[in-house]
């Protein structure tokens, strides 16, 4: 199969908030490839449906990218361009694989190119209550011969310390000093939590994303912007409760959308179908879990169906100025996914 779907999709630069051109292209491409229907939904996601069966598989990718346009070009086997890996490669793979399989009696395939994944995942949040599929496949890069089973959760917060203004010679604790003390206390707690957990996926990954301070002439303040990547064993609510205890009596503001971690079961018909597809394409299957967060964290707990994350590309190239993908790997991934869909619909 020629990788024209991927190349043309990458040519439509689509940072979050500017996805319309890429969405329109993908809808037209799915119509041209024989999808039963293809359309733009209420929030701007590209949706393509193949077949009309009662059983359903949703293939959810994202069509937006981070900002930073890269000259789109093909050099030998390599396609350069923003989104070639994250995550237009996996999304185009969904379209081409479903098109190559065509309609399957009793089944419906729904391919979604979701908007805004790189910001607040508005696209995924819109569709999560509209579908209840039998299986779900989420598009993110992990190489053609590996299946991703899990992503960490995420929780963001702003901790604010306040102190009455005092002369610098007074010796009284300042708001910045109080904030630094809180950060050290939180970090010590996290180190203790992680101490008996050798695997990174089981640990809390803590980062200080910003620090600022100021005063109004009467009161000083200092803000810590804290991000925590959470394991499956620690829900966001429990993390926030712990953070509030550690920061007391200072205030903790929850920011953004907190997302729990997700880990799929290996022993499902969906996973077995991918193992079969990878082996049929000449590969040795592998499993991976990621320290980031993806739309699978949003949809899989709600849909409560077997779910995996799959897609061609080297995830270490995500968000880099050298983002590129092997076209031969892409073709392999289309082969794998086509066989996986064929196998799971026959179980």
Tens of pLDDT, residue by residue over 71-94, are: 999 999 999 999 999 999 999 999
Q: Is the distance from CB of 154 to CB of 239 less than 8 angstroms?
A: no
**Domain spanning 153-259: CATH 3.40.47.10:** no
What would the two tokens of residue 290 be? 């990621």
pLDDT at 1 over 70: no
Closest CA to 59 of 316, 283, 281, 345: 345
Q: Where are the domains of the chain?
A: 4-151+261-344, 153-259
User: Catalytic site residue 2?
Assistant: no
The total of other beta-carbon atoms located within 10 Å of residue 193's CB is 18
What would the two tokens of residue 198 be? 């050798």
**pLDDT for 6:** 98
Q: Of the listed 64, 118, 145, 335, which one is catalytic?
A: 64
Q: pLDDT digits over 118-138, tens only?
A: 999 999 999 999 999 999 999
CB-count burial class (<10 Å; 0-12, 13-18, 19+) for 324 = buried
Residue 65 has what DSSP assignment? Answer: B
Q: Phi and psi dihedrals of 259, rounded to 5?
A: -130, 125
Q: pLDDT digits over 254-298, tens only?
A: 998 899 999 999 999 999 999 999 999 999 999 999 998 999 999
User: Catalytic site residue 202?
Assistant: no
**pLDDT for 167:** 59
Residues 6 or more apart in contact with residue 186 via CB below 8 angstroms: 206, 226, 243, 246, 247
| Same CATH fold assignment for domains 4-151+261-344 and 153-259 | no
* CA distances from residue 248 to 124, 160, 189, 194, 312 in whole angstroms, order as listed: 35, 10, 14, 22, 46
Helix (H) or strand (E) segment spanning residue 87: none
**pLDDT for 347:** 74
Q: What is the CA radius of gyration of the chain?
A: 23
Q: Of the listed 19, 86, 116, 117, which one is catalytic?
A: 117
Superfamily of domain 4-151+261-344: Zn peptidases (3.40.630.10)
Q: Is the distance from CB of 312 to CB of 90 less than 8 angstroms?
A: yes
Closest CA to 309 of 136, 124, 58: 136
Q: Is the distance from CB of 266 to CB of 127 less than 8 angstroms?
A: no
Q: pLDDT digits over 153-196, tens only?
A: 999 999 999 998 775 666 688 999 999 999 999 999 999 999 99
């Amino acid at each position: 199969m020629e990788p024209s779907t991927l190349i043309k999709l990458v040519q439509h630069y689509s940072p979050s908030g500017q996805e319309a051109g890429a969405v329109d292209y993908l809808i037209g491409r799915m119509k041209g490839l024989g999808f039963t229907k293809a359309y733009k939904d209420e929030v701007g996601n590209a949706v393509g449906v193949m077949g009309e069966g009662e059983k359903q598989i949703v293939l959810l990718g994202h069509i937006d990218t981070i900002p930073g346009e890269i000259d789109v070009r093909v050099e030998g086997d390599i396609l350069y361009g923003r989104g070639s890996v994250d995550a237009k490669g996996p999304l185009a793979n969904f379209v081409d694989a479903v098109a190559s399989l065509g309609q399957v009696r009793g089944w419906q395939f729904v391919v979604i190119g979701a908007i805004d994944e790189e910001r607040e995942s508005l696209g995924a949040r819109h569709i999560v209550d509209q579908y209840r599929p039998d299986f779900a496949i989420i598009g993110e890069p992990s190489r053609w011969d590996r299946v991703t089973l899990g992503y960490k959760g995420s929780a963001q917060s702003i901790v604010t310390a306040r102190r009455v203004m005092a002369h610098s010679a007074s010796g009284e604790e300042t708001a910045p000093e109080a904030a630094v003390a809180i950060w050290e206390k939180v970090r010590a707690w996290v180190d203790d939590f992680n101490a008996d957990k050798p695997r990174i996926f089981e640990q809390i990954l803590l980062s200080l994303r910003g620090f600022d301070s100021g005063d109004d002439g009467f009161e000083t303040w200092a803000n810590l912007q804290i991000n925590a990547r959470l394991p499956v064993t620690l829900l966001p609510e429990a993390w926030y409760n712990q953070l509030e205890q550690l920061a007391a009596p200072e205030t903790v503001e929850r920011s953004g959308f907190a997302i729990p971690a997700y880990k799929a079961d290996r022993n499902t018909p969906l996973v077995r179908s991918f193992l079969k597809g990878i082996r049929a394409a000449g590969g040795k299957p592998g499993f991976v879990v990621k320290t980031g967060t993806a739309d699978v964290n949003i949809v899989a707990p709600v849909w409560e169906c077997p779910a995996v994350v799959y897609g061609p590309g080297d995830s270490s190239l995500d968000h880099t100025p050298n983002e590129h993908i092997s076209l031969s790997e892409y073709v392999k991934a289309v082969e794998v996914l086509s066989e996986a869909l064929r196998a799971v619909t026959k179980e």
